[in-house]
Amino acid sequence: MKLLIDENLSPGMVARCAQRGIYAVAVAHVGLSGSKDWTLWQYALDNNFVVVTANTRDFMNLLDVEMYPGIIALREGSLSRDEQWHRLELALDRILKHADPDRYMTNRVVEVISAREVHVHEIPPSS
């Protein structure tokens, strides 16, 4: 599983992901700082990245594709860097318990509502 960390989150999460053996890049590190959300979304689709963002509403509006690698959405605002990482870890713990995290995340949104609450949605729902 590869993660694209949106610029509304700390790029320091890239190193923390690496410590857990997860490949991640920050938007700023791939030359996409200041890009529109649809540009980031296209980059994620083209390169099979799960998007990690706090800008959930805009990315949810882009889910009109047949297949996408997934979204991890941190729903709380004004989180410290450590709080952001803790929320991402909650999501990762949930995802990585599956034998094939890439397959599990396909067409899924993992919403971290709080320090104790994580919801997973399949969008579009499977038939």
- Please tell me the predicted confidence (pLDDT) of residue 127: 55
- 108-112 β-sheet, strand order: 23-26, 2-5, 50-53, 71-74, 108-112, 118-122
Do the domain assignments include residue 52? Answer: yes
In a domain, 8, yes or no: yes
Q: How many CA atoms lie within 13 A of 87 on its CB side?
A: 27
Per the structure, how many domains does the chain have? 1
Q: Give the tokens for residue 117.
A: 């609450």
pLDDT in tens, 38-96: 999 999 999 999 999 997 777 777 777 888 999 999 999 899 999 999 999 999 999 99
Q: State the pLDDT at residue 126.
A: 63
Output the pTM of the full model.
0.93
Alpha carbons 18 and 38: distance in angstroms, whole number: 26
In a domain, 127, yes or no: no
In a domain, 126, yes or no: no
Is 26 part of a structural domain of the chain? yes
Range of the domain at 56: 2-120
Domain membership of residue 16 (yes or no) is yes
Question: Phi and psi of 23, rounded to 5°?
Answer: -80, 125
**Residue 12 lies inside a defined structural domain of this protein:** yes
Q: What is the pLDDT of residues 11-47, one digit of tens each?
A: 999 999 999 999 999 999 999 999 999 999 999 999 9
State how beta strands 118-122 and 108-112 pair.
antiparallel
The Cα 100–Cα 82 span in angstroms is 27
In a domain? residue 125: no
Model confidence at 124, in pLDDT bands (50, 70, 90)? confident
List, in order, residues 6 or more apart from 113 with CB less than 8 Å away. 75, 76, 119
